[in-house]
Amino acid sequence: MRINILAIESSCDETAVALISNGKILNNLIASQMIHAAYGGVVPELASREHEKTIGNLAEQALLEAGLNWRDLDAVAVTQGPGLMGSLLVGHSFAKGVSVALGIPLILVNHMQAHIMAHFIPERKPGLPFLCLTVSGGHTQLVLMDELMRFNLLGQTRDDAVGEAFDKGAKMLGLPYPGGPLIDRYAAHGNPEAFPFSVSKMPGLDFSFSGIKTSLLYFIRDKEVGHPGFVEKNLPDICASYQRHLLAMLMEKLELAASTHQVKSIGIAGGVAANSGLRKLLAEKAKEKKWDVFIPEFSFCADNAAMIAITAHYKFLAGDFAALNSIPVASLSADFELNPAQG
Ligand code: KG4
Ligand code: ZN
């Protein structure tokens, strides 16, 4: 049997469309919204309007590139949440429209689960149980997948996400949004031991990133009083030191989760998984602990629709379809399971 699915991701500031055929990704298109840079962060209302302008054309383009027609589709999938409600609504309404117009099933996908499922796109797939550290602009989570598509949330941040700590830290340092990749770039030329920052400790497998952010704020304020221009002159060292602390917090909890649950198959996902320092630390730890490590290629780390497509493929096989009275959910936990009977 042939299974062609059109997948849509519109949870934040990226409009993304992908096509998957029999579990193989045919294409993965992304239209990034540049409009937010001027505001130093995502403006939800502008994001929704941009999605609305882009989504139809992007879907047409994906079909055209793949040599498929609307009638060739067997299902349409969309991110149900978590995300910005207005942005989710655009993708959700569009997908519902496609489902009704073509008489094909609608599949709802949990964005956090999809980040983890991105690991199942390449040929080399993680063995189970699989422990995944999902690190993005909105989330920091440790999830254990004991069976394919069964997600157990082991720990998460109690306040800011690590991506947020990168972005807000970058803003304090005068860098443009999103600052995470820039901190990564400056850190590569700096001394990670140059400056100490204080971090908040969380019990168990939870994280907290608000303390280190405040520590950076006071550090900048104090240094600039005595030495104006200090930040500019020491940017690589500050970025490297700040990043070292953030990554150490992630690695500590990842290691604890792996030993507690005796897992050797380990991955990272989400936008911050693109961080070169984190990739390096993970590779080193893998050697030391004999972990089998999985790091998605860049295009599958940040928000994309291929990860929605692969998750939808497995949901299609399980007959996990949504009712037409389904709604997007702005805050959706990584272990949230949609009951098909409820729609
Ligand atoms: O997963 P994602 O694309 O969107 C969300 O669902 O949030 O993640 C975006 C986040 C932003 O905070 C961005 O600064 C961060 O990922 N990011 C990075 C890097 N590339 C993206 N953070 C640190 N180093 C990077 N190289
Ligand atoms: Zn994401």
Residue-wise pLDDT tens digits, 125-138: 999 999 999 999 98
Which pLDDT value is given to residue 44?
A: 87
Q: How far apart are CA 27 and CA 6, in angstroms?
A: 10
- Compute, in angstroms, the gap from residue 221 CA to the centroid of ligand 1: 26
Residue 117 exposed, middle or buried by CB count within 10 Å (0-12, 13-18, 19+)? buried
pLDDT surpasses 70 at 336:
no
Sheet holding 265-269, edge to edge: 150-156, 140-147, 130-135, 265-269, 292-294
pLDDT surpasses 60 at 58:
yes
pLDDT surpasses 80 at 202:
yes
Which pLDDT value is given to residue 339?
A: 37
Where along the chain do the CATH 3.30.420.40 domains lie? 4-116+301-317, 124-295
The ligand placed nearest to the CA atom of residue 114 is: 2
- This prediction has a pTM of 0.93
The class (CATH top level) of 124-295 is: alpha beta
pLDDT surpasses 60 at 35:
yes
**Are residues 311 and 113 in contact, defined by beta-carbon separation less than 8 angstroms?**
yes
Q: Could you tell me whether strands 14-21 and 4-9 are parallel, antiparallel, or unpaired per DSSP bridges? A: antiparallel
Which pLDDT value is given to residue 334?
A: 74
**Are residues 262 and 220 in contact, defined by beta-carbon separation less than 8 angstroms?**
no
pLDDT surpasses 60 at 261:
yes
Q: In this prediction, what percent of the chain has a pLDDT beyond 70?
A: 98
For 106-130, the pLDDT digits (tens) are 999 999 999 999 999 999 999 999 9
Mean pLDDT of 304-325: 97
Residue 317 exposed, middle or buried by CB count within 10 Å (0-12, 13-18, 19+)? exposed
Ligand 1 atom closest to 270 (CA)? 1
* Arithmetic mean of pLDDT over the chain: 94
More confident residue, 332 or 175: 175
CATH of domain 4-116+301-317: 3.30.420.40
Mean pLDDT of 299-323: 96
Mean pLDDT of 77-102: 96
Q: How far apart are CA 304 and CA 29, in angstroms?
A: 8
Ligand 1 atom closest to 137 (CA)? 7
Which pLDDT value is given to residue 259?
A: 98
Q: How many CA atoms lie within 13 A of 117 on its CB side?
A: 26
Ligand 1 site, residue 169, Cβ cutoff 6 A: no
